[in-house]
Amino acid sequence: MHDSLKLQVRDLEVNVLTGVYSEETHLPQPLRISMTVDIACAEHFHPDTPLSASKSYLELKEAATQLPEGVHFTLIEGVADHIAETLFVADPRVLRVEIEIVKLAIAEAGESIGITMVRHRR
C-alpha cells in the first residue's frame, strides 16, 4: 500500500463552451467544477517542508479555469477529461483525479445535475 495526499478544490464556477443542443452551442455555460487529486505523498511533512513536497492548489485551479480558448466541448465529460489529462501531464506524482462537474444553467430548483469522472494514471 502506498501513501497518498488528497488535494481538493471545490466549487469553482467556470464559463465553458459546451453542449449538444443548438441553444447551448453558441454561448459559454456556467459549470461548477470540484476536484480531488491524489498525489504521491512525502514520507513526512515537517513544519519547514517546502511546497515542492506537495502541489500548489493554484495549479489545480488553473487546470479547471484556463481551458483552451474557443474550443467547444460537446460533452462535459470532455471538459473533465481535459482537466485530468492536464494534471497528469503537468506532474508525474499525480496518481488519480476525481472531477465533478455540475451544469448550473439547467437546474430549475437548485438541484445538481452533472457528472463525476475518475481517472487513474496509466
Report the CATH number that the domain containing residue 39 is assigned in CATH.
Answer: 3.30.1130.10
User: Would the pLDDT of 28 be above 70?
Assistant: yes
Assess contact for 14 and 67: CB atoms under 8 A: yes
Longest dimension (CA), the chain: 54
In sequence order, which residues have a C-beta less than 8 Å from that of residue 96 and are 6 or more positions away?
Answer: 4, 37, 38, 118, 119, 120, 121
pLDDT of residue 105: 87
Q: Output the pTM of the full model.
A: 0.91
Domain that holds residue 106: 4-120
User: Would the pLDDT of 56 be above 70?
Assistant: yes
Collapsed DSSP state (helix, strand, coil) of residue 6: strand
Which strand ranges, in their side-by-side order, compose the sheet holding 29-40?
Answer: 4-16, 29-40, 94-103, 114-120
Least reliable range by pLDDT among 11-25, 79-93, 99-113: 11-25
In sequence order, which residues have a C-beta less than 8 Å from that of residue 52 and are 6 or more positions away?
Answer: none
Span 67-92, pLDDT tens digits: 998 899 999 999 999 999 999 999 99
How many domains is the chain built from?
1
